[in-house]
A and B are shown apart, each in its own frame.
Chain A
C-alpha cells in the first residue's frame, strides 16, 4: 500500500459487527386478531378505521387475550338474574366469526351429558373477564364437527387450572384426530369442501372415494377469489402498535 510521508498507514480499527437481534424482530410480528382485518367489499375504508378506533379503546380498558380456535377459555359475563350477578362458562373455542365490533366466538362444553354451545361477542360490555386456560391450535380453523364427535372430546372440567404456555413464540398445534359418532352427522364432514384434517374417518374406502366426487379442484386457481391481506395486515399492525403504546 502506498503510504503518505513514508510513515506506516494509520491503524484503522475493523468495522463494528452488526448484530441482528432475531428475538426483537419476532416480537414485532405480534398476534393480530382476525376481526381487525376488513372483509372484501365496496365499503368506505373510513368505516373500518372508525370501528378500529372503538375496538382499540375497548382493548385499552379491558384485556382481550390472544387465543385460537381450539384453545380452552373461561368467560365471566354479567347476568342480572344470577344470584352472584355474574356467570362463568368454560369451553373450547369452536369458531371465531364476524369482523369489527361484532366479532364473536363460540365456546363448547358438555355439562352433565348435555352439549352446550354459547356464542359470545368479544367487545360486548357484559363480558367481565376472559381467561385462556389452555392456549393451543388444532389442525382446523373450524371445530364445528365436535358436535358429531364422541362427547369425551368436548368435555372440559369446569374448575380446570390454567395451563401456563411453554414457549413464548410457538403455539403448540394439537394434532389430535377425533373419533366420530356413527353416521348420520349434521354435515357430511368427509366431503372435500370442509377440508377437515382433524377427524379419524373410520368409513369404508369406497365411501371416502365417493366423497371426492364433490371436490372442486379449480377453486384453488380462481384468481377472482384471491384476497391478499399482507399489505393491509401490515398497515393495521402498525396502527395497532402505535395506538396501544399511547
Chain B
C-alpha cells in the first residue's frame, strides 16, 4: 500500500495489484452453463505443472497456456466474448473507473466470540468467576433450542470477501499494475479477482472502456503510466493555493 496525493493536496491510501500472466481459458455458452449470461474462465498466475495429475491439465492444454494457480469465472454478455488463449493486461482497466475486488481474507484460525463477532465479554473483576471472554447466554427459555447460525466461536478468516466501489487511480502498463483506492481483503502477494463495479452509483462511470479487452498486439500505443485527472503527478511543482 502506498500514499497518493490529489491536486488539492489531500492524501489517499492506495493498494497496488499486479496482473500476472492472466489468460482466458475457456468460453462456456449460456445454455451450457445454465445461467443468464455466457461465462469466460480466466486463469491467474503461472505455476509448475508437476504437482497436479494430467487430467487437471486439459483446460490449459486446450488454451495452449501453462498451468495457472487460480481459475475464476466471469459472467460476460455475448458481444464481449474473447477467444481462449488471449492474454489479459492491466490496461483492460482505466483510471477513474470503479472496481470490486474479491479475495480470501487472512486466516485467523479458531477464534473466540469476542474477536470473531465483536461480543463485549464480561467485566474483569467484581466477582466474575472464570468468565471474561465467554458468549454468556446462547438462547432464550421459550425457544427451548439454539437457532441455526448462532454466533459462536469457530474458524475465522480464510473466506472470500469483496470490497465494493474502489476507484482506480493509476495504471502502469509496463509492469501491469493497477493502483486501487483503499484497502483490499487478503494478505500481501495473495491472489485477487478484480471486476467492474456492480454498484448502481458507478453504473455509468466508465465512458470508453477498452471493449472487449485491451489487446497488446493492436494498433493502440499506451504511455507507460496512465493517471487519473485529479492525481498530483510528481513531475509538477508543489501545490499552491491561489
CA distance A51 to B106 in the complex (A): 25
Does A196 interact with chain B (Cβ within 8 Å)? no
When distances are taken between beta carbons in the complex, the residues of chain B under 8 Å from A177 are: none
**Closest Cβ of chain A: how far from B180's Cβ, in Å?**
14
CA distance A125 to B238 in the complex (A): 5
- Interface segment out of the listed A55-63, A110-118, A187-195, A223-231: A55-63
Tell me the nearest residue of chain A to B4, going by C-beta.
Answer: A101
CA distance A123 to B241 in the complex (A): 18
**Closest Cβ of chain A: how far from B201's Cβ, in Å?**
28
CA distance A54 to B16 in the complex (A): 14
Q: Mark A45-58, 1 if CB is under 8 A from B, else 0.
A: 01100110010011
Which B212-240 residues have C-beta < 8 A from chain A?
Answer: 232, 234-240
- Interface segment out of the listed A1-9, A78-86, A232-240: A78-86
Does A216 interact with chain B (Cβ within 8 Å)? no
The reply to whether B234 and A58 contact each other, CB–CB distance below 8 Å, is: yes
When distances are taken between beta carbons in the complex, the residues of chain B under 8 Å from A57 are: 234-235
When distances are taken between beta carbons in the complex, the residues of chain A under 8 Å from B238 are: 62, 78, 125-128
Which B71-124 residues have C-beta < 8 A from chain A?
Answer: none
When distances are taken between beta carbons in the complex, the residues of chain B under 8 Å from A58 are: 234
Does B70 interact with chain A (Cβ within 8 Å)? no
When distances are taken between beta carbons in the complex, the residues of chain B under 8 Å from A44 are: 18, 189
CA distance A97 to B172 in the complex (A): 28
The reply to whether A125 and B5 contact each other, CB–CB distance below 8 Å, is: yes
Interface size on B, residues (CB 8 A): 22
The reply to whether B237 and A78 contact each other, CB–CB distance below 8 Å, is: no
Residues A102 and B239 in contact in the complex (CB < 8 Å), given A43-B189, A46-B18: no
Does B35 interact with chain A (Cβ within 8 Å)? no
Does A121 interact with chain B (Cβ within 8 Å)? yes
CA distance A79 to B239 in the complex (A): 10
The reply to whether A124 and B240 contact each other, CB–CB distance below 8 Å, is: no
Tell me the nearest residue of chain B to A47, going by C-beta.
Answer: B16
The reply to whether A54 and B11 contact each other, CB–CB distance below 8 Å, is: no
CA distance A43 to B15 in the complex (A): 13
The SS class assigned to the B binding surface is loop
The reply to whether B239 and A100 contact each other, CB–CB distance below 8 Å, is: no
CA distance A121 to B239 in the complex (A): 14
The reply to whether A54 and B234 contact each other, CB–CB distance below 8 Å, is: yes
Of the four ranges (under 10, 10 to 19, 20 to 34, 35 or more), the interface on chain A belongs to 20 to 34
Residues A79 and B5 in contact in the complex (CB < 8 Å), given A42-B188, A42-B189: no
CA distance A100 to B2 in the complex (A): 8
Which A67-103 residues have C-beta < 8 A from chain B?
Answer: 78-80, 85-86, 100-102
Does B3 interact with chain A (Cβ within 8 Å)? yes
CA distance A211 to B16 in the complex (A): 45
CA distance A86 to B240 in the complex (A): 8
Residues A46 and B175 in contact in the complex (CB < 8 Å), given A102-B3, A121-B3: yes
CA distance A44 to B16 in the complex (A): 11
Does B242 interact with chain A (Cβ within 8 Å)? yes
When distances are taken between beta carbons in the complex, the residues of chain A under 8 Å from B241 are: 78-80, 85
Further 16 A-B residue pairs, CB within 8 A, beyond A101-B2, A121-B11? A41-B188, A42-B189, A43-B188, A44-B18, A44-B189, A46-B18, A47-B16, A50-B175, A62-B238, A78-B239, A85-B240, A85-B241, A85-B242, A101-B3, A121-B3, A127-B238
The 8 closest A-B pairs by CB, nearest first: A57-B234, A80-B241, A58-B234, A125-B239, A126-B9, A125-B232, A128-B238, A102-B3
- Give 11 pairs: A residue, B residue, CB < 8 Å, sorted on A: A43-B188, A50-B175, A57-B235, A61-B235, A78-B9, A80-B241, A124-B9, A125-B238, A126-B238, A127-B238, A128-B240
